[in-house]
Amino acid sequence: MKEYKAWEQEKKLIPVMIKKYCQGKHRQKDLCPECQELLDYALFRLEKCPFKVDKKFCSFCKIHCYKPDMQVKIKEVMKYAGPRMLFSHPVFAIKHVGQMLSYKRKLKKEGKKHA
Ligand SMILES: [Zn+2]
């Protein structure tokens, strides 16, 4: 299922990122209840994502359909774990960052069109 690649990658990436964040920030070996809740929520949203088949979209777009409090938390996780992913999962992270940047650029372009 080639079309699902980005989505499937993300499904693997999110638990890794949240775990990294929890280990670093909350000093937990396994996920603390708060981070577990965030992970459950993130995976639930991912499952429901309407852009599942469109590999151009990544976590960045999905963040926008998160509840506000979860949105804040997942952004924290990405800010914290994102740069650290470069060391443990270089290929993963570079791909992911590339997708994020192109999505951001696209948003900027579209924003300009409307402005
Ligand atoms: Zn935690």
- For the chain, the average pLDDT equals 76
Contact 57, 2 (CB under 8 A): no
Question: Any alpha helices (H) in 64-89, and if so which ranges?
Answer: 68-88
| Domain range for 23 | 2-114
Phi, psi of 45 (to 5 degrees): -65, -40
Q: Which of 79, 94, 68 is nearest to 20 (CA)?
A: 79
Ligand 1 center from residue 63 Cα (angstroms): 19
CA distance 46 to 48: 5
| Total domains, the chain | 1
Can you tell me whether residue 15 is helix, strand or coil? helix
Interval 34-48: pLDDT, tens? 999 999 998 888 887
Residues of the chain with pLDDT under 50: 1-2, 55, 57-59
Q: What is the pTM of this model?
A: 0.65
Task: Report the percentage of the chain scoring pLDDT > 90.
Answer: 21
| 20 CA from centroid of ligand 1 (Å) | 9
